[in-house]
Amino acid sequence: MEVASEGKAPRTERGRRTLRAILDAAAAEFGEKGFHEGSISGITRRAGVALGSFYTYFDSKDAVFRALVRDMSAQVRDHVAPAIRAAPDGIAAEQAGLSHFIDFVRAHKEIYRIIDEAEFVDAESFRAHYATTAERIEARLRAAAARGEVRADVGAAHAWAIMGMNVFLGLRFGVWEEDRPAEAIAAEMADFLRHGLAPR
């Protein structure tokens, strides 16, 4: 995925490492201070790179923030994808995805502040983050429906509902408190998806 400003993609392994350091530093800077209080000098200081190195890859603070939102979205996707692919069925895939998402959040709590701020700093990236996530969930649900694992009429509303659960479960059990194992939370969510709230 292209994250540097247009025409500024790194061409060497060293450049890719520098870009990664800048993005990680931006996550720390914006996660701690927010977009408006965060600064390019704060990012370069955290990354241990010269100011000129920042402008080698990004045109502005806005540009690195936009790139960071796309990068964090991709990091979540890449972190959960192997567990989802390895799951034996559709509901188990959602369970594995949530468990790994909570694990990711616990290691990157700043993601919530950054994504939330994106609504006001870069609404397009904010919308894309959620829209693409929901599209992936919907595709998984439709594939599960085709295999007879979930109801046949699954669609966008179901996908957005699952994503909404994941977002707030990540907030509660990943950011605010880590008082329960991620696997246990994911198992409860999977049971809820399989059986709903109807009495048994």
The DSSP secondary structure of 12-32, one letter per residue, reads: SHHHHHHHHHHHHHHHHHHHH
- Say if residue 128's pLDDT is above 60: yes
Segments making up each domain of the chain, as ranges:
13-195
Return the structure tokens found at 114.
Answer: 């950054």
Say which CATH topology domain 13-195 has. Tetracycline Repressor; domain 2 (1.10.357)
Indicate yes or no: pTM above 0.95. Answer: no
| Over residues 139-144, mean pLDDT | 96
Q: Please give the Cα distance from 125 to 67 (Å, whole number).
A: 9
Classify the phi-psi angles of 40: left when phi > 0, otherwise alpha if psi is within -120 to 50, otherwise beta: alpha
Work out the pLDDT band at 7, boundaries 50, 70, 90.
low
pLDDT at 2: 54
- Say if residue 119's pLDDT is above 60: yes
Work out the pLDDT band at 180, boundaries 50, 70, 90.
very high
CA distances from residue 54 to 7, 13, 22, 51 in whole angstroms, order as listed: 14, 16, 7, 5
| Over residues 36-65, mean pLDDT | 94
Return the structure tokens found at 161.
Answer: 């509902």
| Over residues 2-30, mean pLDDT | 84
